[in-house]
Structure 1
Amino acid sequence: MGQGTPDNMNWAGLLQNLLLLVHLRQIICGSVQFSVPEEQEPGTQVGSLSKHFPPPYQLLTQDYLWMDKNTGNFYTTEQRMDREALCPEETKAEECIILHYAIVRPSGDLIQFPVIIADINDNAPHFENSEIHLRISEDVAVGTSFLLDEQAQDRDVGRNGELQYRLEYSDGVFSLKVEDDGLFILLVVEAALDRETQEQYQVMLVASDHGADPLSATATLKVTVTDVNDNCPSFSPDSPRNVTIPGDSPKNMLVAQVRATDPDSGPNAAIVYSLSPKVSEQAKKLFSLDSLTGSITLTQDLRSDNSEELVLKLLASGRHCPPADTQVTVSVLPKATQELTIKIRFIVEHQNQTMVLPENQPPTVLAVLELEGDSGFKGSSLAIEGEVPFTLSPQNGKYLLSTSKPLDYELKREHHISVIVRGRSGEASTIINSRHVIRLSVADVNDNAPHFPQPHYQLEVVENNRPEMSLLQLSASDADSGYNSRVTYSLDKHTSTIFNIDPVTGQLSVSASLDREQQGVHKLTVFARDSGSPPLQSVTTVSIRVLDQNDNAPVFLTPHFIFFIPENVPPFAHVGRVGVTDSDEGENGNTELHVVNSSGPFIVDNTQGTLRTATNLDRETEEHYELYLLASDHGHPLALTSTARVTIFVEDINDNQPKVILPSSNSSCLTVSPSATAGSMVTKIYAIDQDSGLNSEITYTVVAPEALQNSSPFQVDPRSGNITLAQQLQQQDLGMHHLFIVEKVCHLMDIDEAKSDFVFIPGVLPEGGDESEDSQVAWDQ
C-alpha cells in the first residue's frame, strides 16, 4: 500500500528533540495509529495515548498537532491539514500519513505513531474547459458511441474522488455510457440525426462525485452534426417557366435565370446546371446556360419576323444524385409585335429593377405599369398570374401594382410577380400573350423578439461550489435576420453580482461560492435582447436551489450555562433547557447532546433539549457541579461538534436538624460558685446545622413556663448560646436548677429542633455571705 508523508515536516525540530534519545531506554514502534479527517477546526481532539501508555507525555513533533502532557490527548492546531496539499496527487499515495514521536515519562520510552489524514469531500470536480466540442456525421447509426476525450478531474480520493456523469437537456437524442470504472466516457446516439433539421446540439455534461454530499461540475457539450450527401437538388417553384423575348433581341441578353437548391452544405450542396440532350439543335445554337448561376443568355442577335416557341429542358446535377429537371418555354415575338412593351415606374424603393418593401406594411402601391406600342393591337390588357398577395388596378389607361396584404419576411423573402400581357394583332388577328416578371424583395424589420425554449429553468447547486463555475447554457433564437436577429444576454440589474452571463454566448456562471445558510434560493431574471431598432427583448427566469453541505457546527446559545436546582428533587427532574442551533438543514442540522468529562448525576433529554437529574442531589454532599455538553450534528461524512460549559448549583432545603457539639451530652450537670456575679458566664451551649443560609441559623431558647423563667437566676443568649447569671445569687437560689434548652432553626415555616438539659448546682453560701475557696466547685462538661 502506498503511503505519502508531507514534505514540509519540521525535521530540524524533530532532530533537535531526538537528541533526548541519549537518555531514552527504548523506542516503541507499535501498532498505535490515529486517523483524523482533514480540514478540522483548531482544538479538535484527534486521539489519546492514555489508552496505550501511562502519563505524563511529551510530544516531540509539533506539526499540525499539540498534546496535553497530563492526559495524553492531542488536538489539531491553527495549522490546518489539507490532505491534497500535504500529499499531492503526483505522489500516488493511497494514504496520507504524518509520523509523530512522543516520550512517555518516567520510563523514557520513545513512541512513534502515524496519524492518517483522512480525505473529506472538500473538492468539487472540475472540467479543464467549460465547452467540449464533438463532430458527428448525420448518417451515423443509432446506438453508435463516441469517446469523450475530456473528462472531469477531482482532487479528492476514494469515493469522494470517484466521478459519475449524466446528461441534461439532451431531449433523448444522446445518452452516456461509462466503461472500465469511469476510465472511458462514451456519448451514445439514441435518435437519428439530420443536419438539415438541426445542425448543432448543446447539452450539459454534469460530473458529480460519490461523496455523502455530492459535489458537481458542468461543461457544455456542443455536438456539431456534419453533413453527408443525403439530399439532391430541386428547382425552386418560383423559377420561370415561360419567357417572352422580342424578335430582335441582342446577343448576350439575359433571357431568364433558373435556381435550384440542395439542403446539404459545402461540396455536397454544389449544383451544376446543364441543357438536356433532348434540347433541339436550334435552341442550343441560340441559347447559352451558365453552369454555375443558371443564367440563360442569347448567343447571337435575333432577326425574327415570325412568332415561334423554343423549349429548353434544363438539368440541375449534384454529387452522386440523379439530376433534377425543369422546362422553360421561350416565346419569340415577331418584329411587328415587339412594340408591345411594359413601362414600369417604381413608386417604392428599388435596386437593379427589384422593388424593396419592408415587411408588415399595409396594402401599398408599388409601381405604375403602362403598355407602350400597342397601337397595332386590339383589347390589350395586363393581369397577374397565380394567387399572390398583389393586385393590378386599371386607372386612366394605366395599371397600379399594389400589395393586397402585409408581407412577412419570415414567411417569404422574395416574390416574383408574373405579369401577363394579352393582345390581338390587328392584321393577322393573332392572340399574343407574353409574361413579364417583376421582382420584389421583402426587407426585414425587427418584428420578432428573441425566444427562449423555456419560460423557466430550475437548477440545483451544492453550496461551497468552486468559484467561476458554469451553471447553465442559455440560448434564445430570433426569427429576424441580420442585426435584428443578433442576440445579447443580460441579467436584471437587481441580480446579485456573483452571477454573470456572457452577453454573446449566454453562458450563466457564478463567480463565488454559494452559501445556503445566507440564501437558499436564488431567482434570476435573464433578458435576451436583439440589435434591431428599436430593440426587442424576451425574458426567462432561472431558479437556483442551493443544496446544503454540513459546513456549520452546532452553536450553543451561550458558552456557559448556569442552573440552580433544589436538593432532594426526584430523579429525572428538570434542571434547565440547553439552547443549541445548527444553521444547516436536514440531517446536517439535526443535533444531539451528550454529557462529557463528567461523572455527575445528570443526563440529557434530547427529545426536549433539557438537562435532567439522574439521581437525588444532596447539597451537603456536593454543593455544585461542573460538566461539559457536546452538541453533535448528524452530517456526513463527518459530524461537526461544539461544546458548552454547564455549572449547576444545588440549592439548600432545610433537611438537617441542629447537632449539639457543646456540651457533648444532652444532659450536663454543672456547679456554679455562689459568689459569681450577675452577668458572668456560667457555661456555653454550641450547636451546628449542615444546611446553609437561613436554614443553618440557630436560636437557643429555654423551655419553661414564663413565671419560672422570670424567677430563674440563669438566662441563655439566643444567638451565642452563652448561659449567664441573670442576677446575683441569693440564699433562695441555692439548690439544683434544671434548664431545658431547645436549639431551633427557622426557615419560612420549617422548624428543626434539638434539645439540651442542664442541671446547675450553686455552692453553699457561708455565714456572712462571703464565699470561701472551699465552697467553689469546679465543673466539667
Structure 2
Amino acid sequence: HLLLFLLFVGPFNCFASYSRATELFYSLNEGLPAGVLIGSLARDLRLPTAGGQDPASLQPPLSFTLASHGLGGQYVQLDNRSGELHTSAVEIDREALCVESSGATILGGSAAVSSSSPSPESCLLLLDVLVLPQEYFRLVKVKIAIRDVNDNAPRFPVPHIRLLVPENAPVNTRLAIEHAALDPDMGTNGVQTYRLRDNYGVFTLDVEENENGERTPYLIVMGALDRETQAEYVTVIIAEDGGTPPLVGSATLTIGISDINDNCPQFNDSQFNVTLYGNSSLGTHVATVHAVDMDLGSNAQITYSYSQKVPQPSRDLFHLNESTGAITLSTKVDGDTPRLHRLIILGNGPGCIPAVITVLVTIIKVMMRPPEVVPRFIANEVEGVVYLKELEPINTPVAFFTIKDPDEKYKVSCYLDGDGPFRLSPYKPYNNEYLLETTKPLDFETQQLYEISVVAWNSEGFHVKKVIKIQVLDDNDNSPVFSEQLIELSIEENNVPNAFLTKLHATDADSGERGQVSYFLGPDAPSYFALDKTTGVLTVSTQLDREEKEKYRYTVKAVDSGFPPRESIATVTITVLDKNDNSPRFINKDFSFFVPENFPGFGEIGVISVTDADAGQNGWVALSVLNGSDIFVIDTGKGVLRAKVSLDREQQSSYVLWIEAVD
C-alpha cells in the first residue's frame, strides 16, 4: 500500500506545482507581417529550464502544441520546442474577424475568434495550447486581443445624397441625414466628425450619438431660405475619422428647397389704356392682363375675374378669359354703346389678397365704312367651302370677286393671302372685278384642303378679309401598284391540294373605294391556280408534277374600285421543285447480247439503257450485277456490260444476268 501511495502522490504534486498559470493574455495590432513575436509561453508560464537555458534542453524536453488547428490557428505559428508564439503569413484583419461587437464567437476547434469581452471594442483570438511531457502537462488558454488600427476610411453608402428643406424652415431646424458614413474601424478610428465643403452661409452640420455609439449627422439651418431666390444648394459632405493621420470620405449633398405658398400674384402695372375701333368684329382681341406668382405648381396658379365694381354692360361687352387673362369683344358695338369702359380686373391666387389692375378701354367711333368683298362662285360651293376635282386643268375659274368702297370715296385694292396653286387677277375691262383661278392641276394625294383669303384695303388703311376654303375632291387617277412586278415562287411537286403559294400585295394612292384593290388571275393562268379576290392569297388546287411540267408563267391583275376602274399587271413565275418520286426504268424489259467465244476480257458486250424521270441526284442511276458478278461487271454510270475473263462457249454457252438500277 505504501508503494502505491508514493507512485500516486509524486506525479500529483509535480502537476499541481506547475499548474498555477492556465490562462495567458496578449495583445497586438492587426495587419502585422509574418514572424512578429507575440509572446513566449515557457517564459510567461514560468516553466523550469535547465540552468536558465532554452526549455528544449530539458530532459525530457518541453513540447508545446495547439490542441487542434482551427480558424484561429491559421493566424499564428507556435514553436513546439521554445513555446514562442509568432504571427503567421496570414495577415490578421480585425474588421474581417470581428464584424460586429455582438458578443458572438466563431469557433474553430480549440482555436476561435471572439468579440466576447468586457470592452465592446474587444476582438479576441482564442487558442488552446497543450504543454507536455506529462510532468508539466497542462491546457493553457491563450487569449490574443487584436487592436484596431486606422486602416479604413469612412465611406458613404451612396455617392449622392438628396435632402429636402421647406423654404419656411426656421433657423436651427435640424434634419437628419439618413445615409450616414460607415467606417469598419472601431473607437476613435471610426467616424468622428462631419463637415460641409461649402455651407453657403446658411447651413452647418451637427453629430448626435445614440446609446449604441452610432453617430448620425444632422443638417442645421442657420439662415433664412427662399426658394424663389435659390431653389437648390449643391455641396460636398465630408466624414472624418479619429485616426492619426485621420482618413476622410465624401459624398455629394444636394439640398433642395421645397416651395410653400409665400408669394401672391402681382401685376407689373396698375393701369393701362386701350383703344378699340367701333366697327371691330366680334371676337376682336382687346388686351391681355398677366400677373406673376413666384411660387411653383398649384401655389402659383392664377385666375382672373372682374371686380364687383365693373358694371354689367361692360361685362357683357368684353369677355374675360379667367385662365389666360385675354379680353375680347363679345357683342357688337352700336351707337348706344358707351365710349369709355373702366375694367377693374383681379388676379387671384390661393390664400392671397387679389392683385388689381385697371384697363381703360376707349371706343373710337368710325365714320367710314369698310371695303366690301362680294364673291360670286363659279365652282361648286356649299356653306363657304368650294369643291374642286383634282386634275382640273390649269386656269380653272373658281370665283369672281367684286371689290368696292361702299361710300365710293376711297380707292380700294386687294390681294390674295395664303399658300396654294391659285391666282387672283383683275378681270378686264372692269375696274373692280377680280378672277380667282388655278395655276396648276390639283392633286388630292398631295393636299386635300386649302385656305386662302382675299384681302381688300382702302387708301385710309382699313382692311377687310374674306376667307375661302377649297376642298380638293379625289378622282381615280392612280392605278394599283404591285410591290413586285415579277413574283418568283417555288413549290415542291406532290404538294397537298389547295397549297398556299404567296399573298399578293398592291397599293392604290386614291381614297375611299377608288383605293380598294381586288386581285384576279390573268387569262394565261391554268385553271388549277386560284387567287382570292379580296386577300390576294394565291393557291394551287391540285398536285403538281415536275416531270409533267417544271415551269409556270402567267399574269395577275390588281384592279381598283374606281369608275372607270384602273388596273396593273404583274407576272408570276412558279418553279416546281423535284422530289424523288420516280423509280429508274429500263428501256427494254430484257436485253440480249451475242459475243463470239474467246471474246477478250473487259471487252464491251453491250449497253444496258435505263432512265429516271427525276432531276439532279434524284435522277442519277447506278447499275450493278446481282448474279455472276465474279465473271461480269457493269459500268455504273454508262451501263456498259463487260466480262472480266475470256468466255468459252464449250464451258458455258449462255448467261442470264439480273441487273439492278438504283437512283
Q: TM-score range by the shorter chain?
A: 0.3 to 0.5
TM-score (norm 2): 0.45
